[in-house]
Structure 1
Amino acid sequence: MTRHLRPRRDGGMRSAVVDSWHRSASAGVRPDDATAPITLPEDALRDQREAHPLARVFPLLDDVLGHAARDCGAVMAVSDADGQLLWVCGTPTTLRKAEAIGFVEGSNWDERLAGTNAPGLALALDQPVSIVRDEHFRSAVQGWSCAAAPIHDPGTHALLGVLDITGGDQIVVPQTMAMIRAAARMAELELARDLLTRQTPAPAPAAPGTHLVLEGLGRTDALLTVEGAGGTPRTLRLSRRHSEILLLLASAPQGLSGDELAVLLYADEGGGSSTLRAELNRLRHLLGEDLLASRPYRLTAQVTGDWLTVEALLATGDLRAAMRAYGGPVLPRSTAPGVTRLRENLESQLRGALLRSCEADLMSQWTRSTWGADDYEMWQAQRRAVGAASPMLPLIDGQLARLDRELGV
């Protein structure tokens, strides 16, 4: 028996929870699934725990938070970055209750496998979250409430896993979330201290140069952060034209002549060389004399762009990470020919990979976005991918019917 998205008893459902329900349903989770799958059998669990960086701080977490969880009839759990529970601690009575919903060591609570829950949502959003009773996607879990916070590697900032407390309604009070966040932060500080003590002296690297971080996905005007060179990072909101110029130069590290840049910037012949030179002079004044070279025009610093990151992830075949990094079309309101080409090429690559993937939850992310809501072919592909028993079918069929009406089919 299936059910569909419905409001909580208090009359509303948070948007983050609605999004998670969509991802859960699209991934094939059934609301009547009794337990979460075991993805780490006992022998593999032991090896995974011993090798995992969080093993160094688990005793601290248990001491700081585990005892408090036991005292209030809850369980404390620590997962890895894939959602697999490496440690689950509580009183024997509470652990038996948690076992009934599959909340045990070695089980996987990624929302694509276990439905909406705090550890899975904290992993998906990379931020602290709480889930109250009927916000859980699976009926079996709706007698529980939970709160979780991510833990990051202090050296690389990579997500290591999640710290979670699961129990009754007392879990989702502000004080509990504050304790969980503080414990996660304490674990990161302990990992940082451990890293410092284990590091051996190495030759000092050359002084880092300036690094430009450019964000243009889903933005009318790009954001530019200038880092490094011993100074405090500064973030600038660029004008529309300066956004276009920097995106084009970042995408052409070998540089562009004035004529080439003009062709890529101006849709007609109205953009004269004097207008372009004036824009480049203003941009040079904004960035600093040493960051924008001429003959050809090029950026002299290392550049990172969010659209370049998506391209790189697609090139490695990591579609899921590419979707997480894709914040929308490149400068969606720009009509500059070069930017339009960048935007269309990236969208075509990502969309094509999605259509080939048969990953229903990723297709759902696309069709629920402003840029993908009217993508008829993607809705059709998503319908094929979810299967005949999916609770997503009424939503998908409704959207296809809407598009049929609008297209006059």
Structure 2
Amino acid sequence: MSDAWVAGAVDAGSGEAGPVRPLVAASWRRSVRARVSLEGAARVELDEEELAAYRDGHPLSAAMPVIRELMGTYATDGEHLLAVCDSAGRMLWVEGHPGTLRKARAMNFVAGARWSESAAGTNAPGTAIAVDRPVQVVAAEHFRRPVRAWTCAAAPLHDPLSGRVIGAVDITGGDRLAHPHSLGFVQAVARAAESQLALLGPPERPGGIRLSALGRDEAVLSLAGRRVRLSRRHSEILVLLAHRPEGVGGEELLTLLYEDESVTPVTLRAELSRLRALLGPDVLRSRPYRLAGVVDADFATVDRRLASGAVSAAAGEYAGPLLPASLAPGVVRLRERLADRLRAALVDRGDPGLLADWAYSAWGEEDVVVWRALCSAVPSPQLPPVRARLDSLEAELTAGATGSQRTGAHPRR
């Protein structure tokens, strides 16, 4: 069914996809936009030595005993596979029935392979990470032809403190998994794994404030044992104040927040009053506006990692652009500055794994600079699919620039 859709039998622009579930149709569209081929297998990026070192240091290694206890016997007895991947869709563990493991190798469903949606098309673990919700993908709902004999269900795994996605847990097998119980099962396993991580993780600092604003339009604030999802405007205010711990005057904050110069200080004071009621008077102070106590902001952590030269750590902490939908001038400048610094550091480092994480992300799928760097960095056996992606991207950019010039518009950069 996806062949016909990709060929144009279904109008992607209309949003109509016949009997296809909306979640699957949306995933197919993202797969097409990411230039995923209908044929081929996932790319294996980590050899045994690299994989062992990477997963030993990954936070999900602490959850594996619980995941194996809950899923191991079920997977082996049912001729299924249990799999756990990182937030970039790289498989860290693939275990289960020996015969099923052998069959899965034909499509590179193996540890060390990248199964993100942007790299391998619609599949349960990759799509669960992309949409941050549990997902079941049945047979022909998979984007790539070689995967359509399989059925899988996966749920994202979150860091218990920040709430950001750090991976996914998946059950993969045949038609017997095409049942709603499979989805409920992996959801329960994911919740148990997250609970285990919370028990083993460091406690929150008393009086500490944690702000997570990367890769999300609405920031999450962890404060005094509670987590608060903020509105978009409150998210912008807290990002700006976290960036300026010394405080910001009212007039300056107004210019940092609003594109429209006609917005009055009364509007800003009303927003700050609502935010103070939400957080408490001891957290948000005035004259100048500032946050009390130490704020642990995820975007500031990435900035510190870059400043110290820890590029790999910075890339690992980067969950996406800072408040990506925000148009607040001050946030836009922070977002672009951080992304530009990290991109430049990745290109300069030339590490194929780090470059691939960026290139196959939602924010990097059209970043021609990074795709060119990745082409120069990957080993020869892995080059053909990367080269094909880059050629396709450059052709589209050239065509777009030519079309813009014909109509007198500025060429796309």
TM-score range, shorter chain: 0.5 to 0.7
Closer, same or farther: CA 301–74 of 1 in aligned 2, 3 Å: same
State which of 198, 209, 212 in structure 2 corresponds to 1:211. Answer: 209
Could you say which residue in structure 1 is the equivalent of 2:223?
Answer: 227
Closer, same or farther: CA 233–146 of 1 in aligned 2, 3 Å: closer
- What is the rounded CA distance, in whole Å, between the counterparts of 1:105 and 1:218 in structure 2? 29
Q: Helix, strand or coil for the counterpart of 2:83?
A: strand
State which of 30, 40, 46 in structure 2 corresponds to 1:39. Answer: 46
Could you say which residue in structure 1 is the equivalent of 2:179?
Answer: 173
State which of 142, 146, 152 in structure 1 corresponds to 2:152. Answer: 146
Tell me which structure has the larger Cα radius of gyration.
1
Closer, same or farther: CA 136–11 of 1 in aligned 2, 3 Å: closer
Instruction: Kindly indicate whether the alpha-carbon contact (under 8 Å) linking 1:66 and 1:89 is maintained by their aligned counterparts in 2.
Output: yes
Could you say which residue in structure 1 is the equivalent of 2:125?
Answer: 119
Where structure 1 has 5 or more consecutive residues not aligned to the other structure, the ranges are 335-339, 369-377
User: 1:38-93, CA deviations, whole angstroms, 9 ceiling, x for partnerless residues?
Assistant: 6233x66677777777667656545543443345443333445662343421153x
Count of aligned positions:
370
Closer, same or farther: CA 397–151 of 1 in aligned 2, 3 Å: same
Aligned ranges 1:157-196 → 2 under 5 Å = 161-189=167-195, 195=200
Bigger shift: 132-141 or 53-62? 53-62
Instruction: Kindly indicate whether the alpha-carbon contact (under 8 Å) linking 1:215 and 1:306 is maintained by their aligned counterparts in 2.
Output: yes
- What is the rounded CA distance, in whole Å, between the counterparts of 2:252 and 2:114 in structure 1? 52
- 1:32 maps to a residue whose letter is E
- 1:90 maps to a residue whose letter is H
Instruction: Kindly indicate whether the alpha-carbon contact (under 8 Å) linking 2:239 and 2:331 is maintained by their aligned counterparts in 1.
Output: no
Closer, same or farther: CA 125–208 of 1 in aligned 2, 3 Å: same
- What is the rounded CA distance, in whole Å, between the counterparts of 2:165 and 2:261 in structure 1? 49
Matched, 1:18 2:29: yes
User: 1:296-320, CA deviations, whole angstroms, 9 ceiling, x for partnerless residues?
Assistant: 4433244455765675576564457
Q: Helix, strand or coil for the counterpart of 2:153?
A: strand
Aligned ranges 1:42-191 → 2 under 5 Å = 58=64, 61-62=67-68, 64-79=70-85, 83-92=90-99, 94-105=100-111, 107-111=113-117, 114-152=120-158, 161-189=167-195
Where structure 2 has 5 or more consecutive residues not aligned to the other structure, the ranges are 11-16, 348-354, 376-385
- What is the rounded CA distance, in whole Å, between the counterparts of 1:90 and 1:165 in structure 2? 12
1:177 is displaced (CA, Å) by 0.9
Closer, same or farther: CA 305–90 of 1 in aligned 2, 3 Å: same
Q: Helix, strand or coil for the counterpart of 1:324?
A: coil
- What is the rounded CA distance, in whole Å, between the counterparts of 2:242 and 2:187 in structure 1? 38
Closer, same or farther: CA 278–160 of 1 in aligned 2, 3 Å: closer
TM-score normalised by L of structure 2: 0.63
- What is the rounded CA distance, in whole Å, between the counterparts of 1:81 and 1:51 in structure 2? 14
Matched, 1:327 2:323: yes
User: 1:85-143, CA deviations, whole angstroms, 9 ceiling, x for partnerless residues?
Assistant: 43421153x33322322334554545566554333344455543233334444432232
- 1:251 maps to a residue whose letter is H
Q: Helix, strand or coil for the counterpart of 1:14?
A: helix
1:175 is displaced (CA, Å) by 1.0
Aligned-pair identity in percent equals 32
Closer, same or farther: CA 157–270 of 1 in aligned 2, 3 Å: closer
1:161 is displaced (CA, Å) by 4.7
Instruction: Kindly indicate whether the alpha-carbon contact (under 8 Å) linking 1:45 and 1:86 is maintained by their aligned counterparts in 2.
Output: no
Closer, same or farther: CA 302–108 of 1 in aligned 2, 3 Å: same
User: 1:322-377, CA deviations, whole angstroms, 9 ceiling, x for partnerless residues?
Assistant: 462433254x1x5xxxxx25523532553576589676864984588xxxxxxxxx
Q: Helix, strand or coil for the counterpart of 2:332?
A: helix
Aligned ranges 1:301-316 → 2 under 5 Å = 301-303=293-295, 308=300
Aligned ranges 1:288-307 → 2 under 5 Å = 288-303=280-295
User: 1:375-399, CA deviations, whole angstroms, 9 ceiling, x for partnerless residues?
Assistant: xxx7775896764565556755564
1:223 is displaced (CA, Å) by 6.5
Closer, same or farther: CA 279–226 of 1 in aligned 2, 3 Å: farther
Instruction: Kindly indicate whether the alpha-carbon contact (under 8 Å) linking 1:245 and 1:265 is maintained by their aligned counterparts in 2.
Output: yes
Instruction: Kindly indicate whether the alpha-carbon contact (under 8 Å) linking 1:151 and 1:162 is maintained by their aligned counterparts in 2.
Output: yes
- 1:300 maps to a residue whose letter is A
1:176 is displaced (CA, Å) by 0.7
- What is the rounded CA distance, in whole Å, between the counterparts of 2:190 and 2:298 in structure 1? 28
Structure scoring higher RCO (CA < 8 A, sep ≥ 6) equals 1
Note the aligned Cα RMSD (angstroms): 5.2
